[in-house]
Structure 1
Amino acid sequence: MASSQAKDKPRIVIVGGVAGGASAAARCRRLCESASITILERGPYISFANCGLPYYVGNVIKTKEDLLVASIGLFRNRLNVDVRLHQEVTKIDRENKTVVVTDLETKRSYQEKYDYLVLAPGAEPIRPKLEGINLEGVYSIRDIPDASHIKEWISKNDAKSVVVVGGGFIGLEMAENLSLLNLKVHVVEALPQLMPAMDPEMLPPLYRKMTEHGVDIIFHDGLKGIKKEESNTGKSNLRVITASGKSVVADMVILGIGVRPDTHLAKECGLQIGSLGGIAVDEHMKTSDDSIYAVGDAVEVEDFLFPGEKTLLALAGPANRQARIAVESILGRKDHTFRGVQGTFVCGAFGVAVAATGASEKKLQKRGWKQGREYETAVIHAGSHAGYYPNSKTVHLKLIFELKNGKILGAQAVGEEGIDKRIDCIAMAIQAGMTVMDLEEAELCYAPQFGSAKDPVNLAGMVASNILRGDVQQAHWLEHEEWLNDAVTNKEGEEKHILIDVRNPEEVEAEPVPHAQNIPLRDIRSQLEKVPKEKEIAVFCRSGQRSYLASRILSQLGYRVKNVSGGFLSYRDAKASSEISR
């Protein structure tokens, strides 16, 4: 260490007091009673749950005090941490190891010395330079005051409608909570899908629920500008103009376009910034300055699945873990390193949860990976618990794995119940380097109200393992766009595939798939004359289970047959996402 002071009684200054900063202070005190620990927070609160802000707006969380994870008194009295609110760090002097601080209440400026500096400034909401972006009634949400201002605006202006720009975490959660306040909600999204970290065909169950709750979703159309205008009643409205020229009139606008790392202090003092725009750190969370560490949303970290590649991830869980590692490194514990992130998340809105971990298909395809060559997917639609126990809900689960060895690359799930625990299981399997065969054999909790003897995680592993073992050849709706577009013939009008629906006739009548020939599974052996051996056969049912059995029957009888992944349920959602993207 630089001096005996730094070694015996280190002065540790932490910039930012939310997830990463507060965790760093608490961990530091638990490890070193003699350290001088100071938190400099520019806002009026520390250690608050910013993930809970939308729910405070929606009155699910009743008071702002409920958002405080730990009080100032706890930090000061129990942990002996010097917490200073309304203190903005304006400059870092690396040579003299000082920070310049402005007290935002008194406007007084002063210097604070450090032996080690931990930067935890977080990320700032993106506010594009567009017409009307700073009008009254246009809000981003980053902290408790932002949420309070939104609540005050709704009350003061008797707001009845809102445009939410962006369909990520904040956009979805704000849409749900504003809907709970009986506001008419319009979501404007520049992409052809919400939740960009997900693969698009997984999301139609969410869209259906949002539509049921009266939410208007505008896809593939970004924000162009906002104008203020007077209504016939004399009330001021905001007119949101989209890139395509559409306009939506509302009482307020919420910007949920995304966030960017808050790196202005790091840049100004010459710290290395990574290629993605975040602060560059090593496995100990140390920056390019040996005395400065950085954690949380402001840093670039390694992708766990693809070592050597960097990524940005604005999630509270990794920020807390990074803070522990940074402080341990400062205090001499070098054996604990940050292993990277795999992007495990869950988001709930309108009674539906969407969750994912690891790589998506979109990410793999961006890397040049080809489905059926480097990777494959297993899609199931299974019950959240035993079907004979009341109120089982469908878990739509997609497992992505490497073909050469069965290594699990990622998973996504959507549904009303049991989504988080399935993704958590698979997230741990990825951390452990497990394969789909390990999922097949995983021993998980089972009681009828909690799960099934074959849990959806087991089932996904079994489907994937069947593919690896060659027990089944697989086809995909999105891979064969003609199936979605009601065309299964080539240019000469000849059938390219024979598409066989093995559901029962009453199911087909209720939910038909154009150009599919119906041969119920129960009749498949007795109606083989309807199945030409010279053609490639593709079979499907409602979810993929009965068609798997049909494919096993036909393949053993010498037919060239593929099971269409996910059956009719995947057809319905793939068709919906395909129509949105056009």
Structure 2
Amino acid sequence: MSTSSPLKIVVVGSVAAGTSAAAKARRNSETARITVYERDRDISYSGCGLPYFVGGEVETIDELTPRDAAWFKARYDVDVRTGHEVVAVDAAAQSVTVRDLATGNTFDDTYDELILATGVRSVVPPLPGVDLPGVFRVRTPSDARAIRAWVEERPVRRAVVIGAGYIGLEMTEQLTERGVEVTVVEALEHAMPRMDVDMSARVDAELRKHDVDLRLGARVAAIEGGESGVTGVRVGSADDGDTVPADLVIVSVGVRPNLELAEQAGVTIGPTGAIAVDRQGRTDVAHVWAVGDVAESFNLITGEPAWVPLGSTANKMGRITGDAATGGTLEHRGILGTSIVRVFDVAVAQTGLTEDQARAAGYDVEVLHNIKPDRPEYLGGESLLIKAVADRGSGRLLGAQAIGASGADKRIDVLATAITYGADVADLFHLDLAYSPTYATTKDPVHYTGMALDNAIRGKARLITPAELVRHRADGEKVQVVDVRSAKDRAKGFVEDSLHIPLAELRARAGELDPAALTVTYCNKGVTGNAGQNVLRNLGFEQVYNLSGGNKNYQAWASTQHPSAK
């Protein structure tokens, strides 16, 4: 780096990744000239907090936009120029063309290193009426301000949310809490489609529990209304559908990377549709870097390119590239797509590979549904469901999903840490986790997850999911299902075509069963089912599985995912 010619860094975009890159570059170098161009007026804002401003949990937008250009200049001596849009990149000349949106004037600026942090844009389907007043996306503080003003200044009684991903669900919750009747229209078969269907179906149930009109496997044909605003949403085809009344519409069907400048620069776009970069954020064009939601990452487990646009990942990528652009050695280590969202009374979390993803990647998987209280019931513990996926060949934990009223965040973070460091499922039992009855059980749900998976993989206490059980039966295979619960518990509900033999009677009545047939034992949640499984295995039964998550998991799966399986 020449003392006579300071390094000149231009950053395009000033949300999570761009500001992180600029701040880290400044920490590494006091002489670098760092300029950030941002076409919006807000910088370094919490995009994930926007729905909570709309709902009123966050009182003012200032709480989500605590730093402005003046603060950045004073703190880091970084020039952040809001209201300035970079409209062109000339990688050969190492220059950018910038438009001042207030005046319309354009000018050129040169760079030694260009960092693209252009983020994503909302996907706007080409629907009739999508530009009507009262139809909004949720990407920026400006969007959130407009939605909240619309809700507070008009008699908004009914809303339609198109899309049931993170933002769609958060907006649904917040609007419902404001007393608005909400209809959610999702083209896929479940809300939270990134999760396995047996978990996302529980999100469906939570939405309906709170009187959300959930339309799954449905498509919007048109948005109806006039100059004064939206009046309804046509669901189904233009000729065969119904109109859902609406005073407000939220379009939240996904996002796509903003690639215009990247394509002008000539960088390679990766297989995920985001910019291909190395582990420090370099593109394949000299002196051009990409960070945050516009750039690819890679899956920590499979090593394959991955694109999961999350603020947490964007912050890391920005810091790493700001370091590398100023001579540092930090490298990105990949992602697991760890995420969590609150949906009314439950937290919905996940990390790593889902069951479907693990199977698609070629793993021979063992799947556990572990239902335990997050802390002792005598101190208000509530049910927490952890679905964990492991590789039978190596014993490695591959992924987990969790749903519960409390404690899902703690457990998913522990499991994400374990996966990051390549933990075997047996390692989970040996983790020295914090215990107090106000926070956890003596054997934590994480411990139980490791114990059950290790038993299934190495102790031959195999598990079978409700979906697998139904598939075996559908294939015509002889399957004997044994309910080892008490008569009192069985009277509350049971797996169809199951034989009731309470655990205390199982040894004496084992002769009623075929030891060569595929046998499935079950109880309410899985523990007593495992005890029955051990009895039959020790008596010489050849194929004995314990129903993952027991009857509770089976009935939840049957009623929400496959209503025909009663």
Q: TM-score range by the shorter chain?
A: over 0.9
Structure 1 unaligned residues grouped into runs of 5+: none
Please report how far the alpha carbon of residue 562 of structure 1 lies from its aligned counterpart in structure 2 after TM superposition: 1.6
Amino acid at match of 1:378: L
Task: Verify the 8 A CA contact 2:20 2:322 in the aligned structure 1.
Answer: no
Do residues 571 (structure 1) and 528 (structure 2) align?
A: no
- Greater displacement, 536-545 / 557-566: 557-566
In the alignment, which of 261, 266, 273 is matched to residue 265 of structure 1?
261
AA paired with 1:323? G
Q: Structure 1 residues 364, 5: CA separation in 2 closer, same or farther (over 3 Å shift)? A: farther
1:12 correspondence with 2:12: no
Query: Which residue is equivalent to 1:535?
Result: 517
Aligned amino acid, residue 189 of structure 2: P
> Following TM superposition, by how much is the alpha carbon of 1:5 offset from its aligned partner in structure 2, in angstroms?
5.4
- Paired residues, number: 562
Secondary structure of the 1:527 match is helix
Which stretch of structure 1 is more off in the superposition, 21-30 or 221-230?
221-230
Q: How far is 1:300 from its partner?
A: 1.3
**Would you say the 8 A contact 2:230–2:249 is kept in 1?**
no
Which amino acid in 1 is paired with 2:52? Y
State the secondary structure of the residue aligned to 1:563.
Answer: strand
**Secondary structure in structure 1 of the residue aligned to 2:562:** helix
Alignment of 1:497-508 (within 5 A): 497-508=479-490
**Corresponding residue of 1:74:** 71
1:57 aligns with 2:54: yes
Secondary structure at the counterpart of residue 338 of structure 1: coil
Q: Which amino acid aligns with 1:283?
A: R
Q: Is 1:355 the equivalent of 2:352?
A: no
Per the alignment, residue 456 of structure 1 pairs with 445
Q: Which shows bigger deviation, 352-361 or 462-471?
A: 462-471
In structure 2, the residue corresponding to 1:479 is in which secondary structure?
helix
Give the aligned partner of residue 276 of structure 1: 272
Corresponding residue of 1:161: 158
Q: Does 1:38 align with 2:35?
A: yes
Q: 2:467 aligns with which of 478, 492, 501?
A: 478
Which segments of 5 or more consecutive residues in structure 2 lack a partner in the other structure? Answer: none
Q: Equivalents in 2 of 1:225, 1:393: separation in Å?
A: 42
- Residue type at the aligned position of 1:366: A
**1:207 CA drift (Å):** 2.6
CA shift in 2, pair 1:95/1:456, >3 Å: same
How well do the aligned residues superpose, as a CA RMSD in angstroms? 2.1
* TM-superposed deviation, 1:208: 2.6
Asked if structure 2 preserves the Cα contact closer than 8 Å seen for 1:192 and 1:580, the reply is no
Q: Which residue of 1 aligns with 2:368?
A: 378
Counterpart Cα distance in 1 of 2:53 and 2:359: 38
Q: Which of 458, 473, 493 pairs up with 1:511?
A: 493
Name the CA distance, whole Å, in 2 between partners of 1:443 and 1:501: 35
Deviation at 1:443, TM superposition (A): 1.2
Q: Which of residues 53, 77, 87 in structure 1 aligns to 2:84?
A: 87
User: Which whole-Å deviations, capped at 9, do the CAs of 1:68-91 have from their partners, x for residues lacking one?
Assistant: 143333211121111111111101
Aligned 8 A contact 1:56 1:62 in 2: yes
Q: Which of 379, 399, 405 is matched with 1:390 structurally?
A: 379
Post-superposition offset of 1:165: 0.8
- d(CA) in 1 for partners of 2:131, 2:340: 31
Which residue of 2 is the match for residue 324 of structure 1?
319
TM-score by length of structure 2 reads: 0.95
Is the CA contact (8 Å cut-off) linking 2:90 and 2:264 kept in structure 1? Answer: no
CA offsets per residue over residues 38-63 of structure 1, 9 Å max, x none? 11111111111011000000000000
2:536 to 547, 554, 577: 554
CA contact (8 A) 1:86 1:103 kept: yes
Match of 1:299 in 2: 295
Equivalent pair of 1:383/1:393 in contact (CA under 8 Å): yes
Deviation at 1:125, TM superposition (A): 0.6
Secondary structure of 1:203's partner? helix
Q: Does 1:432 align with 2:432?
A: no
Contact 1:125 1:258 in 2 (8 A): yes
- Residue 137 (structure 1) shift: 1.4
Give the TM-score, by structure 1 length: 0.92
Where does 1:147-226 land on structure 2 (aligned, <5 Å)?
147-226=144-223
Q: Go from structure 1 to structure 2 and tell me whether the alpha carbon gap of 1:238 and 1:581 turns closer, same or farther (over 3 Å shift).
A: farther
1:233-252 map, 5 Å = 237-243=231-237, 245-252=241-248
Distance 1:98 1:206, change over 3 A: same
Letter in 2 for 1:396: L
Find 1:469's aligned residue among 442, 453, 458: 458
Judged with a 3 Å threshold, the aligned counterparts in structure 2 of structure 1 residues 119 and 474 are, in CA distance, closer, same or farther, namely: same
Q: C-alpha displacement at 1:29, in angstroms?
A: 1.4
Shift of 1:268: 2.1
The aligned residue for residue 360 of structure 2 is 366
| Distance apart, 1:235 and its partner CA | 8.2
Q: Which moved more, 1:130-139 or 1:321-330?
A: 130-139
| Counterpart amino acid of residue 540 in structure 2 | G
Task: Give the whole-Å Cα distance in 2 for the aligned partners of 1:236 and 1:272.
Answer: 41
Structure 1 pair 505–489 and aligned structure 2 pair: CA distance change class (3 A): farther
AA aligned opposite 1:96 = A
Structure 1 CA distance, aligned partners of 2:563 and 2:112? 55
Classify 1:236/1:284 alpha carbon distance in 2 versus 1 (closer, same or farther; 3 Å). Answer: closer
Provide the identity percentage.
Answer: 35
**Structure 1 contact 172–349 (Cα < 8 Å) conserved:** yes
